[in-house]
Chains A and B, each alone.
Chain A
Amino acid sequence: MNIYLVCNAGMSTSILVKKMEEAAEKKGLADTHIEAFSVEVLDQKADTADVVLLGPQIRHMLEDVKKIVAGKCPVEVIDMRDYGMIRGEKVLDKALKLVG
């Protein structure tokens, strides 16, 4: 399963990715691949995404990101507090729930 986090440069979300990977390991989810990158390269990676999560600072781009993804998978904005407090487990849970 591919969980993609996008923000402006891919920097701030990459901090969250590390925490999410730790949480995934604790849950024993071996085949979960979590990646962070800039929203600019999303069109190249949208095909392999199972869920796309947006950094809250680009939440105004939600509709455009949904257009880029074109319904291939769920797209949601990460909760501000979870993002700021780098709550890897909470964001991971949310991602897993979206994939269903």
Chain B
Amino acid sequence: MDSVISRFEQVMMPLANKISGNRYLLAMRDAFSMLLPFIIVGSFFGIIEWVVLDPWGTIMGEDGLNLGQALTGLSGEAYKASGFVAVMQMLQGLCNNVVTVGFGIFSFLLVAAFSYRLGGIWGGDKFATALTSMGAFIIMTPQQVTGKAGDVMGAFSLDYFGNKAVLTSIIVATAASWLFVKLSKNEKIRIKMPDTVPPAVSKSFAVLVPVFITLSLFTVFATILSQAQFLDKKALNDLIYAVIQAPLMGFSQGIGFSILYQGIVWFFWWFGIHGHNVTAAIQNMVYMPAQLANQAGDAAYIFSNGFFEAGLMHIMGLLIAIFLFSKRDSWRAVAKLGFPAMLFNIQEPIAFGLPIVLNPILLVPYILAPLANTVVGWLAISAGLVPVFKYVVPWTMPLFFGGTIGTGSVMGGVLQLVWLLMDIVIYAPFVIAANKMKDEEIDEEES
């Protein structure tokens, strides 16, 4: 058994290393991490705007707690015309401004963040790279909007800056950053200033030609696209969305792919390799945009970032199974030690301490539990029992709270409780089987 495991490890380790070490994917992961605070803050304001402040919503409205009527004593048309509703709507607008930052212009922020990191890994001036990429992105974006009266205005549609443009951002950022950095390194085209000129000035002249060439190439490309109109699409984003992102989203929303994804994640984790770290590219390119689309109200994807993060609590099932059924002192001790962290979905103490990692007896439930969660969650949401995960919460949000806030409904929390019961049942037989293994075997390993 050990030799099978170690042979697997010999394959998995270099593979995980290659994937995680890949500097391009690393830069992408870093970029998404940089934006996470903005997504969370945007989501927070989103909850306030759509759940708390909505005059006809869950807190204020007739269908909910009806606080609106309680506070104003009005209902129906009178309520609609009231100063209270006017104030609520003004406050909603206030919140919406921030929501736009986290979601409406997410892709634009991504271009900046990603290009900044790419500039870093490819050896260019990070900020200049970011600015140039942002410029390239704007060039590829339609710069006019047609109003209701048919008048054409100089304006951008938010459609091109939000979750639908994630793939476009990644592609444009990559191309623009690569081009810019490559050109910046070319001594022959660099405008050199005499030494007496201040460094900031000579720096800006040094990048002048790379910026010129990069933006020129992008505008030529953008014009070709708008003239040729492949698939009736004038703008790059529309084309990419139709050809790549939409099919990709559709494909990854299948239960099969989601099960495969979760299987890979937890298989890596069993080897003690951070499964989410290794598969971060999948998460960022597919499940994060799904989450953003849900939040924006554009879609109702079942499989999103929030959905999978809500399932992280399956290891709590193991912990409770240990408290209920384990007769091994060492296991009970480790479970007690790891419990506080696991309350916040931090599994490492129990994963490495029990250990779950490289422990053959726990391999099956460790993968089965999250897969079961995925299937049950899929059924529950498909049946309409639980809403989709709309609001982004930190992955460390404890179970029940994460599900409730994430779905905006207490049914989300209930789903996690159902998962917990199921996971305890899945882990229990293996905990009981492990009782038969003597503690001395573990002590032998340690010495």
Q: Which residues from chain A sit less than 8 Å from chain B, CB to CB?
A: 7-8, 11-12, 15, 38, 40, 55-61, 63-64, 80-81, 83-86
Q: Which residue of A lies closest to B395 (CB)?
A: A9
Select B352's contact among A8, A11, A64, A84, beta carbons within 8 Å: A84
Query: B397 to chain A: closest CB distance in Å?
Result: 13
Per DSSP, chain B at the interface is helix
Q: A8-B277, A12-B349, A84-B355 are in contact. List 9 more A-B contacts (CB 8 A).
A: A8-B276, A15-B346, A40-B26, A57-B351, A58-B277, A63-B17, A85-B337, A85-B353, A86-B353
Instruction: Please name all residues of chain B whose beta carbon is closer than 8 Å to the beta carbon of A80 when the two chains form the complex.
Output: 272, 352, 355, 357
Cβ-defined contact, B21 with A60, below 8 A: yes
Q: Which residue of B lies closest to A15 (CB)?
A: B341
Known: A40-B33, A80-B272, A84-B355. A60 touches B17 (CB 8 A): yes
A40 to B337, CA, bound (A): 28
Q: Which residue of A lies closest to B333 (CB)?
A: A85
4 closest residue pairs by CB, A with B:
A84-B353, A84-B352, A12-B348, A60-B17
Select A84's contact among B16, B26, B277, B349, beta carbons within 8 Å: B349
Cβ-defined contact, B334 with A84, below 8 A: yes
Q: Which residue of A lies closest to B344 (CB)?
A: A11
Instruction: Please name all residues of chain A whose beta carbon is closer than 8 Å to the beta carbon of B272 when the two chains form the complex.
Output: 56-57, 59, 80
Cβ-defined contact, B20 with A60, below 8 A: yes
Name the residue in A12, A60, A85 with the highest tally of chain B Cβ atoms < 10 Å from its Cβ: A60
A57 to B337, CA, bound (A): 19
Query: A12 to chain B: closest CB distance in Å?
Result: 4
Query: A66 to chain B: closest CB distance in Å?
Result: 11
Q: Which residue of A lies closest to B338 (CB)?
A: A84
Cβ-defined contact, B348 with A55, below 8 A: yes
B446 contacts partner chain A, Cβ-Cβ < 8 Å? yes
Known: A11-B396, A64-B21. A81 touches B352 (CB 8 A): yes
Query: A63 to chain B: closest CB distance in Å?
Result: 7
Query: A70 to chain B: closest CB distance in Å?
Result: 15
A57 to B270, CA, bound (A): 10
B350 contacts partner chain A, Cβ-Cβ < 8 Å? yes
B380 contacts partner chain A, Cβ-Cβ < 8 Å? no
Cβ-defined contact, A61 with B17, below 8 A: yes
B354 contacts partner chain A, Cβ-Cβ < 8 Å? yes
Instruction: Please name all residues of chain A whose beta carbon is closer than 8 Å to the beta carbon of B352 when the two chains form the complex.
Output: 56-57, 80-81, 83-85
Instruction: Please name all residues of chain B whose beta carbon is closer than 8 Å to the beta carbon of A57 when the two chains form the complex.
Output: 269, 272-274, 277, 348, 351-352
Instruction: Please name all residues of chain A whose beta carbon is closer than 8 Å to the beta carbon of B350 when the two chains form the complex.
Output: 84
Cβ-defined contact, A40 with B30, below 8 A: yes
Instruction: Please name all residues of chain A whose beta carbon is closer than 8 Å to the beta carbon of B276 when the two chains form the complex.
Output: 8
Instruction: Please name all residues of chain A whose beta carbon is closer than 8 Å to the beta carbon of B29 when the two chains form the complex.
Output: 40
A-B contact pairs, 20 of them (CB 8 A): A7-B274, A11-B346, A12-B341, A40-B33, A56-B352, A57-B272, A57-B277, A57-B352, A60-B13, A60-B17, A80-B352, A80-B355, A80-B357, A81-B353, A84-B334, A84-B350, A84-B352, A84-B354, A84-B357, A85-B334
Cβ-defined contact, B33 with A84, below 8 A: no
Cβ-defined contact, A83 with B348, below 8 A: yes
A7 to B20, CA, bound (A): 13
A63 to B17, CA, bound (A): 9
Query: B228 to chain A: closest CB distance in Å?
Result: 40
Q: Which residue of A lies closest to B16 (CB)?
A: A60
A59 to B269, CA, bound (A): 12
